[in-house]
Structure 1
Amino acid sequence: MDGRPGLRERKKLRTRAAISDAAITLFLEHGFAQVSVAQVAEAAEVSKRTLFAYFPTKEELVVHRLADHETELARVVRDRPRGTAPLAAVRDHFLTGLRERDPITGLNDHPQVLRLTRLIDEAPTLVARMDRFRAGAERALARALRETAEITELTARIAAVQIVAVRWTLAADNAARMAGGEPADERYPGAVRDAGHAFALLANGVGAELSGAGTRAGIAPGE
């Protein structure tokens, strides 16, 4: 046994890829709302029943390409080297993603990536699905933190929400700059600086920053 998938499994993977490719092509050309599931099935040369066997909802035809990322941070935390803090592992992983122009970091200016990002942003049902994606990432990360660090369940949940929010915000900022025409290579140094600042806030807390801002604005600490 060489560990490779069998013929039946390879056929399933090819069918899944063909359906996904047909769907993305149609969505990018005509818009997500303007394309029906029946049209996708016809383009992929499969029945609607077969399509739904692979993709239970129309939104999954798009979001499935990000599916691995839903539990990515949880995997990073679980697989981190001995002696490495969870937050440091997540930070280093994000910085690696920036360097490699991983689309999940928002720092990718390939035309196809930009079009797919715009497609998601402009379709309310896809935006809603991405919100569920984010919630799933928070739950998975909270479980990983609880299982690998000596912290309470509440602490794990709060930490997971903050970590996912920081990564989400950084990626959104990068994606917005890409959509505005800024090249990824030019944005890279600023993206690294922003990531460093954001993860430093996570590591050290925002209390000092907020207290300083409040004092400068004429608001006494504790008010």
Structure 2
Amino acid sequence: MSEQLGLREQHKRRTRDAIGAAAMSLFFQHGYDAVTVADVARQAGVSVATVFNYFDTKEDLFFDEVEPLQAALVDAVRRCPPGDSVLLALRHQVFYQLTAGRTDADADEVARFHAAVVESPDLQRREQHIQLERRQVLTRALAEALGTDTPALTVELAAAQYLAAEAVVGAQLRARLLDGQPLGQARVQLQPLIDEVFSTLRTGLGPLVKTEAAR
């Protein structure tokens, strides 16, 4: 029985992967908005009903790696040794999260992904919703890691500030990729920005005093 369950799970995983691969191939080739779920089903050799057995919405076909990336973010917090900086652990996650763990060998895929988001209002709305989900997930992980002595407001702000920092770097990465810069080069050139952003998170923004010239 356990062997049958194992084979069944393997089949389900292969089917899901095939549907996901077919979807991304079509999205990159024709543009997200031009592709229907029926197109994806035909490309994958399955029925539309089968597609929806594995993916709730068309947007989920595109953002297929949200859950694994959220798990990686939570794992980074949980694996941080006691006494070490959780903020530093999150800093090391930035590029992994923004590239879905892709290496420079997959640079073209990363660039096409970001280009597709820029071209589709539907994907941009879904991306914003995903950020809200990630904030909730990260807040829970930080609350567990920092302990009950840390105020809830501090935990919520920490989660929000990490995502804001990631967004700042992500906007720069997306702009560079759309401008044709290789991923490896962008990765190197954005390191000073990441250092500056996380240094600001560590030290705080200060009172943000308005200057006389800004009247």
Q: Deviations over 1:140-184 (max 9, x none)?
A: 111111112131222211111111110122122112112112223
Give distance in 2, aligned partners of 1:172 and 1:107: 19
Q: Which residues of 2 match residues 53-72 of structure 1 at below 5 A? A: 53-72=53-72
Structure 1: gaps of 5 or more residues: none
Q: Which residues of 2 match residues 178-193 of structure 1 at below 5 A? A: 178-193=177-192
Would you say 1:127 and 2:124 are equivalent positions? Answer: yes
Q: Which residues of 2 match residues 136-215 of structure 1 at below 5 A? A: 136-149=133-146, 150-207=149-206, 210-211=208-209, 214-215=210-211
Give distance in 1, aligned partners of 2:101 and 2:164: 13
Q: Across the two proteins, how many residue pairs are aligned to each other?
A: 209
Could you tell me whether the CA contact under 8 Å between 2:169 and 2:193 is conserved in 1? Answer: yes
Give distance in 1, aligned partners of 2:94 and 2:114: 19
Q: Secondary structure in 2 aligned to 1:64?
A: coil
Alignment partner, residue 117 of structure 1? 114
The percent of aligned pairs where both chains have the same amino acid is 33
Could you tell me whether the CA contact under 8 Å between 1:107 and 1:174 is conserved in 2? Answer: no
Give distance in 2, aligned partners of 1:48 and 1:139: 32
Residue identity matched to 1:116: F
Residue identity matched to 1:67: E
| TM-score, normalised relative to structure 1 | 0.83
Higher deviation after alignment, 194-203 or 161-170: 161-170
Could you tell me whether the CA contact under 8 Å between 2:59 and 2:123 is conserved in 1? Answer: yes
Structure 2: gaps of 5 or more residues: none
**Does the C-alpha gap of structure 1 residues 169 and 187 become closer, same or farther in structure 2, counting only changes over 3 Å?**
same
Q: CA deviation at 1:112?
A: 2.2
Higher deviation after alignment, 67-76 or 105-114: 105-114
Q: CA deviation at 1:20?
A: 0.8
| TM-score, normalised relative to structure 2 | 0.86
Q: CA deviation at 1:218?
A: 4.2
Higher deviation after alignment, 198-207 or 141-150: 141-150
Could you tell me whether the CA contact under 8 Å between 2:102 and 2:110 is conserved in 1? Answer: no
Q: CA deviation at 1:127?
A: 1.0
Q: CA deviation at 1:106?
A: 9.6
Could you tell me whether the CA contact under 8 Å between 2:74 and 2:138 is conserved in 1? Answer: yes
Q: Deviations over 1:23-73 (max 9, x none)?
A: 111112222121111121111111111110100101111101333223432
Could you tell me whether the CA contact under 8 Å between 2:107 and 2:182 is conserved in 1? Answer: no
Would you say 1:42 and 2:42 are equivalent positions? Answer: yes
Cα RMSD, aligned residues only: 2.6
